Chains A and B, each alone.
Chain A
Amino acid sequence: MTASEQFAGWAFVTPGVAIILLFWAVPIVWSAVMSFQSNNLLTPSTPFVGLKNYRQLVHDPIVGQAIQHTLIYTALFVPGTMIVGLFLAVAMNRQIRFITFYRTAAYATMAISTISEAIVFIWLFDPSYGVINYFLSLVGVPQQQFLNSPSQALYVIVIMTIWGWTGFSVVIYLAALQGVPAALLEAASIDGCTAWRRFRRVTLPLLSPASLFLAVWLTINALQLFDEVYLSTQGGPLNATTVLVYYLYQQAFVDFNFGYASAIAYFLFLVILVVTAIQFRVGRRFTHYRS
Chain B
Amino acid sequence: MTGSNLIADVEAKPMPFPIRAVRSCFPALNTGEKFIFLDNAAGAQIPQVVNLTKVVQRPGVNWNDFWVGERDVATVNGKVIGIPALVDNLAVVYNKKLFAAAGLPVPSADWTWSQFQADAKKLTDPAIKQFGTAYVTPGSEDTVWHWEALLWEADGQILTADNKKAAFDSPAGLKSLTTLQKMAVTDKSMYLDPTDSAYANLFNSGKIGMLVTGPWDLSAFPNVHDGVQVMPAYPGAAAGHQTISGPDNWVVFNNGATRVSAAEKFLLWLTAPAQVKYWSLHTGDLPTRASVGNAAGFNQQMDSTLPGVSAFVANLANVKQSRPQIPTYPKISQVLGNMIVSVLLGKSQPQAALSSAAAQVNQILAAG
A234-264 to B contact mask, C-beta < 8 Å, 1/0: 1111110000000000100111100000000
Task: Give the secondary structure class of B's interface.
Answer: mixed
How many residues on the A side are at the interface (Cβ–Cβ under 8 A)?
Answer: 29
Q: Chain A residues near B21 (CB, 8 Å)?
A: 253-254
Within 8 A of A (CB), among B10-53: 18, 21-22, 25, 28, 42-43, 45-47
Q: Chain A residues near B334 (CB, 8 Å)?
A: 250, 254-255
A194 to B137: give the CA distance in the assembly, Å: 53
Q: Chain A residues near B341 (CB, 8 Å)?
A: 236-238
Stretch in A87-95, A122-130, A282-290 touching the partner: A122-130
The closest CB in chain B to the CB of A254 belongs to: B330
Instruction: Please determine whether A233 and B194 come into contact, CB atoms closer than 8 angstroms.
Output: yes
A150 to B42: give the CA distance in the assembly, Å: 30
Does B255 have its Cβ within 8 Å of any Cβ on chain A? Answer: no
The closest CB in chain A to the CB of B331 belongs to: A255
Does A144 have its Cβ within 8 Å of any Cβ on chain B? Answer: no
In the complex with contacts A128-B191, A147-B195, A148-B137, A239-B331 CB distance below 8 A: no
Does B112 have its Cβ within 8 Å of any Cβ on chain A? Answer: no
Instruction: Please determine whether B345 and A238 come into contact, CB atoms closer than 8 angstroms.
Output: yes
Within 8 A of A (CB), among B44-65: 45-47
Does A41 have its Cβ within 8 Å of any Cβ on chain B? Answer: yes
In the complex with contacts A41-B28, A43-B45, A236-B139 CB distance below 8 A: yes
Does B158 have its Cβ within 8 Å of any Cβ on chain A? Answer: no
A262-280 to B contact mask, C-beta < 8 Å, 1/0: 0000000000000000000
Does B342 have its Cβ within 8 Å of any Cβ on chain A? Answer: yes
Instruction: Please determine whether A234 and B330 come into contact, CB atoms closer than 8 angstroms.
Output: no
The closest CB in chain B to the CB of A258 belongs to: B25
A82 to B28: give the CA distance in the assembly, Å: 44
Q: Chain A residues near B139 (CB, 8 Å)?
A: 234-239
A135-151 to B contact mask, C-beta < 8 Å, 1/0: 00000000000011110
Q: Chain B residues near A236 (CB, 8 Å)?
A: 137-139, 194, 341
Instruction: Please determine whether A148 and B45 come into contact, CB atoms closer than 8 angstroms.
Output: no
A147 to B345: give the CA distance in the assembly, Å: 12
A183 to B105: give the CA distance in the assembly, Å: 81
Does B154 have its Cβ within 8 Å of any Cβ on chain A? Answer: no
Instruction: Please determine whether B342 and A234 come into contact, CB atoms closer than 8 angstroms.
Output: no
Instruction: Please determine whether B345 and A237 come into contact, CB atoms closer than 8 angstroms.
Output: yes
A149 to B192: give the CA distance in the assembly, Å: 11
The closest CB in chain B to the CB of A242 belongs to: B139
Instruction: Please determine whether A256 and B42 come into contact, CB atoms closer than 8 angstroms.
Output: yes
A189 to B331: give the CA distance in the assembly, Å: 65
Most chain B beta-carbon neighbours within 10 Å: one of A232, A238, A250? A238
A243 to B169: give the CA distance in the assembly, Å: 30
Does A44 have its Cβ within 8 Å of any Cβ on chain B? Answer: yes
Q: Chain A residues near B207 (CB, 8 Å)?
A: 129
Does A208 have its Cβ within 8 Å of any Cβ on chain B? Answer: no
Does B362 have its Cβ within 8 Å of any Cβ on chain A? Answer: no
A43 to B138: give the CA distance in the assembly, Å: 30
A126 to B341: give the CA distance in the assembly, Å: 17
Q: Chain A residues near B137 (CB, 8 Å)?
A: 148, 236-237
Q: Chain A residues near B342 (CB, 8 Å)?
A: 238
Q: Chain B residues near A237 (CB, 8 Å)?
A: 137, 139, 194, 341, 345
Instruction: Please determine whether B46 and A43 come into contact, CB atoms closer than 8 angstroms.
Output: yes
A98 to B331: give the CA distance in the assembly, Å: 54
Does A42 have its Cβ within 8 Å of any Cβ on chain B? Answer: yes
The closest CB in chain B to the CB of A153 belongs to: B194
A70 to B120: give the CA distance in the assembly, Å: 39
Q: Chain B residues near A255 (CB, 8 Å)?
A: 330-331, 334
Q: Can you report 6 A-B residue pairs in the complex whose CB atoms are below 8 A from each other? A: A42-B46, A234-B138, A234-B139, A234-B140, A237-B139, A255-B331
Known: A238-B347, A253-B21, A255-B331. 15 other contacts (CB 8 A): A40-B42, A41-B28, A42-B25, A42-B28, A42-B45, A44-B28, A44-B47, A123-B198, A129-B129, A129-B207, A230-B18, A236-B341, A238-B139, A254-B330, A256-B42
